[in-house]
Amino acid sequence: MLAATLCLAGGASAKPPAGGVFCSTYPSAPACTGQQPSCNYCHIAPPQRNVFGAGLEPHLAPGAARPLSDTDFAYALPAALKAVEAEDADGDGVSNLEEIQRGTFPGDATSVPVDTGRCQAGDTNPQYDVCRYDTRFAYKRLLLDVCGVPPTYEQLKEFSALSRDDQFARMDAELDRCAQSEFWRGKNGQLWKLAHPKIRPLGTFKAGPEDTGSNPLADYYDDYALYTYTQIDDHDAREVMTAKYYVRRDTNPTRYTPVPSLPTQVMDEPHRAGNLTSKWSILYFVMFSAMPRNAASQAYRAYLGLDIAKQEGLFSVPGEPRDYDHAGVTSPACAACHATLDPLTYPFRNYQGIYIYDYPTSGHYVPNRLEKYFSNVSPIITQTPETGYLFGQKVNGVIEWAEVGANSDAFAIAAVTDYWKLLVGHPPTPEENAEFVATWKRFKGTHQYRVQRMLHDLIRTEAYGAP
C-alpha cells in the first residue's frame, strides 16, 4: 500500500531520498498524502525499471558517472520528473503528469484515471439516487455490513419517512447497535475476518481448550480477542500493538475483558507489546530462526500496512545491512530491502521462538538469546544490537518499536484501509482519495484512534453511500 523509498537510481542500488524528493515535487499527488510511492512506481523490481523509470533515466543527471550519490540523485530527480511530465510512458493515452496528479501509475497501462460519470444529466433510477449519496442505499448497506441482515420492508418504509437529519441519526444508532452484534464482534465475525491476515491462523498448530490442532503450539484465539477488544466500544486501536494486558473472551454472548495474565500466554509484562509479542506471534513468526526477520516483517505488514516483499516502506539505514547471521543479505539483489528490514528486526533479537533443546524458553523474552543459543551461526551474530530503526527513527527494543509504529500515519492509514475494504468493498481508489485521507486523519486526530467513532465518518462518505 505505502512506501517511503522510490527505488529509481542511476545504477542498481535503491535511492533513499527519492520518495521524499518526489513528494516535494508533487506534494498534492495522492501517492504523497500521508505516504510515499513504492519502488514499483519506477521499477518492475530493482534494478529493472518499468517504462516510466526507463523514460526518466536519460534525464537524470545525463553524463554524470554512475552510480549517483544520494545527494546528486536527489538534486537531479526533480528536473528529470519535470522533463517527462508531458510524455505518456505507458501509452494509455494519459500524460505522466495527469497520472501522478490523479493517483494512477504512469508506468502501468492498466492503471488509468477513471471518470465515473456518476452525475450525468438525465440519469434516473427508480430505487436510488445514483448521482449522489443516497441515505436509503447507505442504510440498507449498513445493516448488511455490520448486523449481517437486510432491513425489513417496514424498517425501510419508516426510515424513508424520516427527515434527512433524522435518517443520519438513525444510521448512527443502528451502527452502534449492530457493532454489539455477534456478526460484528463474535467468533469468525467481521472483526475476526479483518484479523485473519494479521494473525495468519493455522489449525494444525492451534493450542488451547477450543478447536485444538494435532500439533498445538499456541492459542491464537487470544490474538483475535485482543485485536477485537481494541476495535470495539471506545477502546484505543493502537493497543493491538502496545497492550501490556491480555484479553479473555467469554461466549453466549461474546464478551471481551482485559486481564493481566492468561494460562495460554507466557510473555513477562515488561516485554509485552500487544499482538506483536503474543505466544502465537513469537512461536509462529520467529520459529527456529536466530534472526527473527519474519516476525518484524509480519508486524510491519500486518499493523502498518507496509510489505517489504513488495518494496514498500523502505527506509534505508546508513551502513546497513550488516549481515550478522551470514545470510548473504549484503548482495546487490538483497541489500536494498535488507537495509530497512534488518534494522527493523534487531529489536526482536531476544524474543525466543521454538528452541527444541530448551523448550521452556520458547515464546519468552530471553536476555542474550543469541549469545546463549545461536553463537555458532556466524562469527559476528552476537554483535547484533537490540536497538533498531523504524521509519528511520531509532528504537530501543520492541516496546519502543511498537509505540512508534502505533502512533504513526502508517498505522492510521492501514487501520482505516482495512475498514474501507470491508465496508466499501475495495481499497480506496484515486477518486476516493480525498474522502479516504480525511477519514484517516480524523481517526488519528479527532477520534484518537477509536474505530467506532471513525466508522460514523466512513458511512457518511460518498464512497460508501453513493450507489
pLDDT band at residue 72 using 50, 70 and 90 as cut-offs: confident
146 in Cβ contact with 183 (< 8 Å): yes
Nearest CA to 416 among 397, 395, 431, 438? 438
124 SS3 class = coil
Q: Which residue type is seen at 436?
A: F
Between 22 and 303, residue with greater pLDDT = 303
Tell me the mean pLDDT in the region 296-323: 95
Residues with Cβ within 8 Å of 319's Cβ and at least 6 positions away in sequence, in order, are: none
364 in Cβ contact with 307 (< 8 Å): no
**pTM of full prediction above 0.85:** yes
Residues with Cβ within 8 Å of 143's Cβ and at least 6 positions away in sequence, in order, are: 149, 150, 151, 155, 174, 178
pLDDT, tens digit, 9 for 90 and up, residues 161-204: 999 999 999 999 999 999 999 999 999 999 999 999 999 999 99
**Residue 46 pLDDT exceeds 70:** no
- What percentage of the chain exceeds 90 in pLDDT? 70
**Residue 6 pLDDT exceeds 60:** no
255 SS3 class = strand
